[in-house]
Amino acid sequence: MVLRLGVMKPRLILVGRYYLIEPLGILYLLGLARSLGWECRVVLVRDGDFTPLYEELASFGPSLVGFSVWTGGHAAYFAACDRVRSAGVGVVIGGPHATYFTADCAAHADWVVKGEGFRTFRRILQGELGPGSHFDEERMAEGFPQPDRALLYDRYPALAQSPIKSIFCSVGCPFHCSYCYAPSYNAMYGGFALNLRPVDDIVREALAIRERWPLAMVYMQDDIFGFNIPWLREFVRAWRERVGVPWHCQIRLELTRDEERLALFREGGCTGITLAIESGNDFLRRYVLLRPMSDELIVEGTRKVKAQGLSLRTQQILAVPFSDIETDLESLALNNRIQPDIAWSSILAPYLGTSMGAIAHDFGLYEGNNDDLDESFFSRSVLRATAGGRAAIEPVVRAATRSPQDNPLQRMAVKPAGGRRAAVYVKDPAFNRVLPGASPVCEIEYLDPAAEDLYRDQTVALQRLFQWLARVPEGHRLGARWVQLAKPERTWARLGELTLEHLREQGLGERVEGWREAVARGFAEAGSAAPEGLWENPYYFFFLPSGVEFARSLAGSGFFEASEPGARFDALGFATRQWLYDRALYKLTPAEAPLAAAE
């Protein structure tokens, strides 16, 4: 495939995944392409349906189609790439999957862009690079192009009308979380480097958004915002004086130790922070997730955030290697203690190419090749689970730890030992594998298929209610009862029965009737009758901001008439998450205090 640039204006389609957040990488690439004289279109794929792309392919007649591919959705994207190429149109693949699985992408593309690709993409568009895989060893050689939001927003007006817009201020993360590709990314470039955008560029981008589209909140999508304090001081002054729009960001808990950073956030208009905890269990955080944070740091860091008057979102991952339902409930218990505005949770996708993927593979916990993963962070786990969770491996790993930075777990691997057992060995450092004749340090046992299915079902059940249970007093105890039910018993009505029992045990029984009356009164004042299904579990709405209004919105959606429990709780989890984002985290819609907090 040769990219022919003739007299006619060349045409480009960029393809990515549709999500509630606009695809920032595609916005910057659109701006770059249009600055070079390309006529552009953008297609965002919903639910794996590439029909809009094929329609655009036929009507627009592009010279080139660029795909931003993420691991998990890659198989469907590869099929679309093949179809585009069969029509005689060139394909370029970029994005995370292209960076870490370049050879796989090369089988479905004419050009593959590995790593940070703004300059590489420009050179492809200018006809300077022939087909093949291309890696620019100079990180962020040309900085960020000016994004083109108009093209995207014209095609997807829901994104344009969203009051929340996203901006990148920096690229780079120095930490080594096992589930993230950032450590591999840093190694690719010879180490960590923080690439900061000039403050004036960021301000100009924000002002351009504010001038043309609704803007009530900016989400700073940096992995770690405000890492550089001198830059942050400059940003705060400029943003406060010239933009003045509230913003949200995400940082590491370690950075909360610096009191000036949090004070600058508040001074600059920050209204909330996202902090990843990932697990309430110290062993899993330290050795599996590679996040060596103490409970004390977590509790104190989140306290400091709240003391600044900032809203707080925590993040955690369920069903990681060597977890069990007890350790997952530890994560919930820690959130009950912290009381964030929203406790976001996901179920692990063990991407190969990450340290987490290597741990899962070396211990026989994941035998896939990423093709059995999807783009969702809420899907049922694909990991094998170990009997007793971490019980067999933790003492051995802790005893072998040489320093605070050491992680013996990453030096270990297993060999089958008969039945569901596996022997754990230390890998030879010269060969990074277990050599013949080595002696095992311990054994682990995998759950039998029935027990494994049970645990997978339990993590899904817990994840769907996690953000709500985190708001219920001692919600981890209620969560423990919920997940121990057989799957057919996990119904809306049964959740109501368990919740009422739990509230009585928490000494709240006398207040329940008053809260029930408030729910009934809220429906009556709105001129509507409360649906019968609501009274099976009115308790759910006692702990949410504007809970009665939320109950009315669910009634309008037909939620209380739904019959299939799994789909019902899927919908409930999504709806609750969006409600808390809007009314508790970002506070874009004024909300009444939860009924349970109003007295």
**DSSP for 482-536?**
HHHS-GGG--HHHHHHHHHHHHHHTT-HHHHHHHHHHHHHHHHHTT-PPPGGGGG
pLDDT band with cut points at 50, 70 and 90 for residue 431: confident
pLDDT tops 90 at residue 432: no
Tell me if 75 is assigned to some domain: yes
Q: Which of 580, 335, 575, 327 is nearest to 473 (CA)?
A: 335
Q: Is the pLDDT of residue 599 over 80?
A: no
> Would the pLDDT of 494 be above 70?
yes
In-domain check, residue 413? no
- Is position 183 within any domain? no
Q: What is the domain count for the chain?
A: 2
Q: Do residues 256 and 304 lie in contact, with contact meaning Cβ atoms separated by under 8 Å?
A: yes
In a domain, 224, yes or no: no
Band (1; pLDDT cuts 50, 70, 90): low
CATH number, domain with residue 65:
3.40.50.280
Residue type for 50, please?
Answer: F
pLDDT of residue 369: 86
Question: By residue range, what is the domain housing residue 19?
Answer: 11-135
Give me the pLDDT at residue 6, please. Answer: 55
The pLDDT mean for the chain works out to: 94
Query: Could you tell me if residue 531 is inside a domain?
Result: yes
pLDDT over 90, % of the chain = 84
pTM for the structure as a whole: 0.94
What is the largest distance, in Å, between two alpha-carbon atoms of the chain? 79
Residue 506 has pLDDT above 90, yes or no: yes
Q: Is 578 exposed, middle or buried (0-12, 13-18, 19+ CB in 10 A)?
A: exposed
Residue 239 has a pLDDT of 99
**Residue 209 domain flag:** no
pLDDT in tens, 82-98: 999 999 999 999 998 99
**Domain end point (choices 111, 135, 159):** 135
Q: Is the pLDDT of residue 200 over 90?
A: yes
pLDDT of 99 higher than 60: yes
**Contact 231/196 with Cβ under 8 angstroms?**
yes
Domain boundary among 135, 157, 177: 135
CB 92 within 8 A of CB 12: no
Examine residue 559 and state whether it is found in any structural domain, yes or no.
Answer: yes
Query: What is the total residue count of the chain?
Result: 599
Q: Per the structure block, which two tokens stand in for 471? A: 């708001």
What local confidence, expressed as pLDDT, does residue 471 receive?
Answer: 98
**Which of 135, 153, 184 corresponds to the end of one domain?**
135
CA distance 116 to 157: 29
Q: How far apart are CA 463 and CA 579, in angstroms?
A: 16
What's the chain's Rg over C-alpha atoms? 25
- In which band, very low, low, confident or very high, does the pLDDT at 553 lie, cut at 50, 70 and 90? very high
CA distance 297 to 278: 14
| Domain annotation covers residue 97 | yes
